[in-house]
């Protein structure tokens, strides 16, 4: 069974995978179906890893929006015909940079 450290590392790695293509900008994201799929898949990984973290770890770090990440995962996984690419891009652009810093800090503290 994977421990919380491994799950946090999964989140960080998924963010880094998204970062590799996010630097191409919103236009590339909007025009490239593969990048869209890459982003949504890695956001699902982030949400799934967040969901499977122990409640103790989530409770110790209320500065991280665990419920928002889990909710995003649920939408991307179960409502894939209703995915709003504007929301996906906003999450990548506005939420992931601070999430990356928070997860890295949590990993350093373990």
DSSP secondary structure string, 22-49? HTT-HHHHHH-HHHHHHHHHHHHHHHHH
Contacts of 46 (CB under 8 A, 6+ apart): 10, 11, 14, 15, 69, 72, 73, 99
Q: Which of 20, 51, 78, 108 is catalytic?
A: 78
Unique residue bearing structure tokens 């236009």: 27
Q: Which of 20, 58, 61, 73 is catalytic?
A: 73
Catalytic-residue membership of 5: no
Q: How many residues comprise the chain?
A: 110
Catalytic-residue membership of 61: no
Provide the annotated active-site residues.
Answer: 73, 78
């Amino acid at each position: 069974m994977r421990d919380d450290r491994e799950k946090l590392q999964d989140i960080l790695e998924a963010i880094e995978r998204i970062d590799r293509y996010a630097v191409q900008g919103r236009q590339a994201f909007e025009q490239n179906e593969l990048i869209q799929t890459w982003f949504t898949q890695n956001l699902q990984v982030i949400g799934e890893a967040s969901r499977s973290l122990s409640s103790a770890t989530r409770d110790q770090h209320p500065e991280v929006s665990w419920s928002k990440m889990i909710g995003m995962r649920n939408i991307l996984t179960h409502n894939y015909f209703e995915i709003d690419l504007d929301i996906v891009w906003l999450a990548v652009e506005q939420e992931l940079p601070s999430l990356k810093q928070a997860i890295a800090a949590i990993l350093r503290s373990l």
